[in-house]
Amino acid sequence: MKSLFDSVCTEISQLVTSRYSTSFSLAVKMLSPSIQPEIHAIYGFVRLADEIVDTFHGYEQEMLLNELEQDLQTALKRKISTNPILHSFQETVHKYGIDYELVDAFLKSMRFDLHKSNYDDTASYEEYIYGSADVVGLMCLKVFVGGDQEQYDKLEYSAKKLGSAFQKVNFLRDLKDDTLNLQRSYFPNLKVDYSLTTETKEAIIREIEHDFDEAYKGIIQLPVEAKFGVYTAYIYYRRLLQKLKETKAEKIMDRRIRISNPIKIGLLARSFVNYKLDLM
């Protein structure tokens, strides 16, 4: 029975989400069960591509990424794939009418990671963030609004801002690993030697706070099926940003800033109270 295959593929995408990101997995659990499989499918696909460019060192990464794209295009055409991650993703693309331009922009940014080390101008920085984060938020938005194009257009700007905020927080949190291990520098205002000054950190924080403020305007307008889950992720990342803000610039280069599990649980409780009391 193909329904069993579909179910197994969905479970594999969910497993990928839970194993690679406990925080995102927790936020997805706060979404309506009716849309959780599709968000897992989106995450599974983007994680697979991201792993190719970030961790498959010593292998033919560009060839693997090209093959992934070719396999996806075949899956979209046939509406089936023997690759469980691609099968779940193609089902989601078809079900909600996700524009392939979003997928194409994402893969373009993934290719940047294979060849580009520095984003020393605003235009290339913004292009990378759009492809690596904003479009992922837009794919999820298509699911959140049930494919409704009018509602999608209304919330598109805020969804992109939320994607940008999440990605920039990740950049700042992972600054040590990106610069020392992957030899990448995403922020165009970093010094030549990639060191982070207090002034630069404060400028980056202000930029991210603005993105979060704009994103919040859309979060409160999301359908009920998605609002609590997205708000939970928003609260978590704002807390992570606050912790980065309180950390000295040189310390951010020394270690990866994290949120402990007890604090995560507390943030979840706070989100639930705010949501139930309509304090968002």
What are the tens digits of pLDDT across the range 219-260?
999 999 999 999 999 998 999 999 999 999 888 877 676 666
Q: What percent of the chain has pLDDT over 70?
A: 90
Q: What predicted TM-score, i.e. pTM, was given to this entire model?
A: 0.90
Q: What pLDDT shows up at residue 256?
A: 72
pLDDT for residue 277 is more than 50: no
Task: Count Cβ atoms below 10 Å from residue 275 Cβ, excluding itself.
Answer: 18
CATH number, residue 236: 1.10.600.10
**How many structural domains does the chain have?**
1
The pLDDT of 140-152, averaged and rounded, is 97
- Average pLDDT score over residue span 3-26: 93
pLDDT band at 147, cuts 50/70/90?
Answer: very high
Model pLDDT, residue 87:
98
Predicted confidence (pLDDT) at residue 278 exceeds the cutoff of 80 = no
Which structural domain range is residue 204 located in?
Answer: 2-276
What is the reported pLDDT for 57?
92
Any long-range contacts for 260-269 (C-beta under 8 Å, 24+ apart)? Answer: 263/239, 264/23, 264/26, 264/236, 267/232, 267/235, 267/236, 267/239, 268/26, 268/30, 268/232
Confidence (pLDDT) at 280: 57
CA–CA–CA angle 13, 107, 168 (5° rounding): 85
Q: Report yes or no: 234 and 219 within 8 Å, Cβ to Cβ.
A: yes
Tens digit of each residue's pLDDT (9 = 90 or more) over 171-210 = 998 888 877 777 788 888 775 566 788 898 999 999 999 9
Which range among 8-12, 30-34, 182-186, 272-276 shows the weakest confidence by mean pLDDT? 272-276
